Amino acid sequence: MGDQLPLPEFLATLGKTELKPGGAYATGALLRMLDLNGHEHALVIGPHAANTALFVSMTTQATTEALVSEEADKVTEDDPALKRRSTARVGKVEELPFDDAHFDAAIIEATLSYQVGPHQQATLKEIARVLEPGARIGLHELAWRQPPTPEVEKQLREVWQGEVHPHVVRGWWDLLEEAGFKDVRNELAVVSYFTRQGMENDEGDTAIDIFHSAFEDPDSLQRFSRALHEFADNRHYYGVILATATKA
């Protein structure tokens, strides 16, 4: 079950709904760093972006637009006022369906880490295109706490079973600055996929159901256990970067 799926998608087959590496805690921390307000218009990119955009609009009063891959990813909201403040548009991150200088801020989560280097840079430049001068970007991505050994890099690829290309903090800074951003600042958070507190924060009472789902199938249990131990045993390598910067 899920043998060829990238790790986040495999976890989704077990019932996990929060698929960003730092979970809901990291998203909340990033919003505090960005300090959005009700006069601003923000782009939201990442897993379940439409839900995140609704959350951003509810908590900051900002107007949001989520980038989604298909119509089915859009979220129906009953509150007329919130529905006006938070919308979604189908498109690709490499070719955003928005005009130049369209947004005051952008939030991108769990996206760049899953792209190869040239695509990471192209995506950041495309986001810069749709931001006004002086607008802010916020990143929530997988990162290396220290330069990994070749063995740890190999183990991550084997556990992930998909494209995954995190950077050390300086590497993320370099990417942002090369794409036309300045005044970078960052915090590091914990990868919460498998931590007890992360599971409880992200999934609430259904956290135990994810473990039960993993135990139902020997192959799923083997993969889940291997990933759990990899992130626990090498936690001094694995982290989450929360970074903000300003478009020059």
pLDDT in tens, 143-163: 999 999 999 999 999 999 999
Calculate mean pLDDT across residues 125-145: 98
User: Hey, what domains does the chain have and what are their CATH numbers?
Assistant: 19-195+235-247 (3.40.50.150)
pTM over cut 0.85: yes
Identify any residues that bridge with 247 across adjacent strands, giving them in sequence order. Answer: 181
Alpha helices in 108-244 (DSSP H): 117-130, 150-160, 169-178, 196-203, 207-215, 218-233
Residue-level pLDDT at 78:
73
The answer on pLDDT for 1 being more than 60 is no
Compute the distance between CA of residue 5 and CA of residue 210 in angstroms, rounded to an integer.
17
Which bin fits 183, alpha (ψ -120 to 50), beta or left (φ > 0)?
A: left
Residue-level pLDDT at 196:
87
Calculate mean pLDDT across residues 10-16: 96
Question: 214 and 159 in contact (C-beta within 8 Å)?
Answer: no
The answer on pLDDT for 24 being more than 60 is yes
The answer on pLDDT for 10 being more than 60 is yes
Compute the distance between CA of residue 24 and CA of residue 10 in angstroms, rounded to an integer.
19
Calculate mean pLDDT across residues 123-152: 98
149 token code pair: 């050994």
Sign of CA dihedral 128, 132, 39, 99: negative
Residue-level pLDDT at 3:
62
Among 71, 130, 65, CA closest to 95: 130
The answer on pLDDT for 165 being more than 50 is yes
The answer on pLDDT for 95 being more than 90 is yes
Calculate mean pLDDT across residues 48-72: 95
Question: 84 and 58 in contact (C-beta within 8 Å)?
Answer: no
Residue-level pLDDT at 50:
95
Place of tokens 């009700």: 38
Provide the pLDDT confidence category of residue 79 given band limits of 50, 70 and 90.
confident
Calculate mean pLDDT across residues 52-60: 95
Residue environment code for 155-175, b if the CB has 16+ CB neighbours within 10 A, otherwise e: bbeebbbeebbbbbbebbbeb
Provide the pLDDT confidence category of residue 2 given band limits of 50, 70 and 90.
low
The answer on pLDDT for 218 being more than 80 is yes
Among 56, 18, 52, CA closest to 200: 18
Calculate mean pLDDT across residues 164-179: 98
pLDDT in tens, 102-112: 999 999 999 99
